[in-house]
Amino acid sequence: MSLRLRILLSWGVLIALLVVAGTVVYLSQRSFALAQVDQRLQNLQPTAEKVVRQPPQVAGGNPVVDDSRLNAGLYGLWVGYQPPSGQVMTLAVPANNPDSAPELSAAAVYATPTTVPAATPAQGQFRVVAFHKGPGELVILGSPLSEVNEALSRLLRTLVAAFLVILAFSSAVIWWTLRLGVSPIRRVAEVARNVQAGDTTKRVESFPIGTEAQELGEAFNTLVDANLASEELLRRFVADASHELRTPLATFAGYTSLYAAGGLEGEAAVADAMSRMKQEAGRMQLLVDDLMLLTQFDQRPELNLTPVDLVPIVAGLVSDMRVVQPGRVITFEGPPSLTCVVDSMRITQVVAAFTSNAMRHTPTDAPIDVRISSDASHVRIAVSDRGPGIAEDDLSHVFERFYRADHGRTRAAGGSGLGLAIAAAIASAHGGRIGAESTVNVGSTFWLELPTNGDSQAAATLDYADGTDSVISPTEP
């Protein structure tokens, strides 16, 4: 059963309950009012019998009754007398309507209070009851029901008016609920079916601000955009991986075809071809290893966490930089020791990615500064250079897989574009953060922050603070 049908069914049950409740109220009030009238008629039985202690005399066809014998309690009632002959005589009439009288049936007994119509239909109804005075003699009391019926009519009008108001209000609420609650769900489902069918341009329209429908629409649009972004990343990943593997495979194919065609003459030519193929095979192996490593970090691998003094690790990498480029000014700043619970091999890999990139992508005369510091909660390792810097458009993508600022995809600068992506995954696995800050023609800084409590295995999310700052931070638990 759909939500719309359940809401409408609930509304129908509510309306039916209101009708039943109104009917019960009306009938109970009617029963109460008639009971009050019946009780009065019963209480006045002795008084009515006294009115006709002796049979009334008849003059000119009308009974003659001594008014002095009429008790004040009978005023407002109709009083009748039925002698053994069976002809009903009127002894008293209601003071406020002297022309009114009940229409009695000769076959009826009226031993219990009974509602009968008035002799004139316009005069309404009477509630009558008959008492035995003697053998074959009856005293009949009748009370007009005009006031009771008027009160019941007012109650009925009030109940009908209240029902109509509740019906209108509940109808408006149901319409509002269906419009703001159910209709948006159906529209979101329709857009979802269109997206599933391949029309990725469809989006849920804006709903009223501050409603759950707005939150649902925005969440759905965000989900679709994120899915499309993931698909785009996957396509780009496949394209980049294919591009990286194309050159080694082309080298293999070229040399094997050349060898098959007899183009490699002499052992020296064959040895050179094999050397080049081995080099390309090593490049492919390195690429596959990096991809496997990233896959492992996506699955949150177990790290070999131990208390490690980070200062010797960073200082050793600085020494390696000075050996590789002895002419470059490379400075190191840090405390004598700084212990943190980390996987030393992986953290070395991250800092090595920073230092190698700084040397590879800057002129040899550009100074490089390496710093390690700490505060109450984090250890920070930063590698800064005074090179050409990174453009703002490139800075927000430097930690993506296969991304290189060299859009021509030349390997002159080396690397496959996975080094910083692996570094970001390692930082995330340690529960830390990794980031980059850069200004064109001023320089760049790559930094790593690790928690001093050793809390690791957190997932990474990409969060760009502004146009000149790229940060990888762990997802909050």
Distance (Å, whole) CA 433 – CA 380: 9
- What percentage of the chain reaches a pLDDT higher than 90? 21
What pLDDT sits at residue 471?
Answer: 47
Show the domains of the chain with their CATH numbers: 212-298 (1.10.287), 306-474 (3.30.565.10)
Evaluate if residue 410 carries a pLDDT over 50. Answer: no
What pLDDT sits at residue 299?
Answer: 63
Dihedral over Cα of 58, 64, 70, 76: its sign: positive
Q: Are 305 and 342 in contact (CB under 8 A)?
A: yes
423-448, pLDDT tens digit by residue? 888 888 888 999 999 888 899 999 99
Q: Classify residue 405 by burial, with Cβ atoms within 10 Å: 0-12, 13-18, 19+.
A: middle
Contacts 24+ apart (CB under 8 A), 180-187: 180/207, 180/208, 180/211, 180/213, 181/212, 181/213, 182/3, 182/4, 182/7, 184/213, 184/216, 184/217, 185/3, 185/213, 185/216
Q: What is the mean pLDDT of residues 343-368?
A: 90
Evaluate if residue 467 carries a pLDDT over 70. Answer: no
Mean per-residue pLDDT over the chain, rounded: 79
Q: Are 385 and 358 in contact (CB under 8 A)?
A: yes
What pLDDT sits at residue 468?
Answer: 41
Evaluate if residue 205 carries a pLDDT over 50. Answer: yes
What pLDDT sits at residue 429?
Answer: 84
Evaluate if residue 213 carries a pLDDT over 80. Answer: no
Evaluate if residue 196 carries a pLDDT over 90. Answer: no
284-326, pLDDT tens digit by residue? 777 777 677 767 666 666 778 899 999 999 999 999 999 999 9
10-67, pLDDT tens digit by residue? 889 999 999 999 999 999 999 999 999 999 888 888 877 776 655 555 545 555 454 4
Evaluate if residue 345 carries a pLDDT over 50. Answer: yes
Distance (Å, whole) CA 17 – CA 474: 56
Distance (Å, whole) CA 310 – CA 305: 13
What pLDDT sits at residue 412?
Answer: 44
What six digits make up the tokens of 141? 């009391």
Distance (Å, whole) CA 264 – CA 270: 6
pTM above the 0.75 mark? no
Q: Which residue has the tokens 């943190």?
A: 340
What pLDDT sits at residue 234?
Answer: 73
What six digits make up the tokens of 268? 């020296």
Please provide residue 2's backbone torsions phi and psi, each rounded to the nearest 5 degrees. Answer: -70, 160
What pLDDT sits at residue 77?
Answer: 85
Q: Are strands 330-333 and 368-374 parallel, antiparallel or unpaired?
A: parallel
- What percentage of the chain reaches a pLDDT higher than 70? 84
What six digits make up the tokens of 74? 């009978």
3-state secondary structure the chain: CCHHHHHHHHHHHHHHHHHHHHHHHHHHHHHHHHHHHHHHHHHCHHHHHHHCCCCCEEECCEEECCHHHCCHHHCCCEEEEECCCCCCEEEECCCCCCCCCECCCCCCCCCCCEEEEECCHHHCEEEEEEEEEECCEEEEEEEECHHHHHHHHHHHHHHHHHHHHHHHHHHHHHHHHHHHHHHHHHHHHHHHHHHHCCCCCCCCCCCCCCCHHHHHHHHHHHHHHHHHHHHHHHHHHHHHHHHHHHHHHHHHHHHHHHHHCCCCCCHHHHHHHHHHHHHHHHHHHHHHHHHHHHHHHHCCCCCCCEEEEHHHHHHHHHHHHHHHCCCCCEEEECCCCCEEEECHHHHHHHHHHHHHHHHHCCCCCCCEEEEEEECCCEEEEEEEECCCCCCHHHHCCCCCCCCCCCCCCCCCCCCCCCHHHHHHHHHHHCCCEEEEEEECCCEEEEEEEEECCCCCCCCEEEEEEECCEEEEEECCC
The pLDDT confidence band at residue 379, using thresholds 50, 70 and 90, is: very high
Q: What is the mean pLDDT of residues 278-283?
A: 79
The pLDDT confidence band at residue 195, using thresholds 50, 70 and 90, is: confident
78-88, pLDDT tens digit by residue? 888 888 777 78
